[in-house]
Amino acid sequence: MIRVILPQHLRALAQTGSQIELAIQGAVTQRIVLDAIEARYPMLRGTIRDQLTQQRRPFLRFFACEQDLSHESPDAPLPDEVASGAEPLIILGAIAGG
């Protein structure tokens, strides 16, 4: 199972706990994980990436295995530890705004 940790406001919007688990077959990329999140939680469409451009919202970041993966290609494989479920993909809000 892929584990994903959502920022607090998106947990509230999706009415879920801090961590969600997704069953994904085959390659595990940012795009595939985000597709799976949006399929299970349609209310999150547009909140992590723009619905039209598919661009990551600039004040959200993707971390895993102590790396910032935000600028990786959405089609690049995520680290093996994420794909195996050993480590979570962390989606978090940047320290910005007010």
Residue closer to another protein by CB (options 27, 43) is 43
Residue closer to another protein by CB (options 5, 13) is 13
Strands 2-5 and 89-93: parallel
The reply to whether 10 sits near another protein by the rule CB under 8 A is: yes
CA dihedral over 15, 21, 26, 27, signed as positive or negative: positive
Contact present, 34 and 28 (Cβ < 8 Å): no
The reply to whether 17 sits near another protein by the rule CB under 8 A is: no
CA of residue 14 relative to chain centroid, distance? 13
- What is the binding site for another protein (CB under 8 A)? 7-10, 12-13, 42-43, 45-48, 50-52, 57, 59-60, 93-94, 96-97
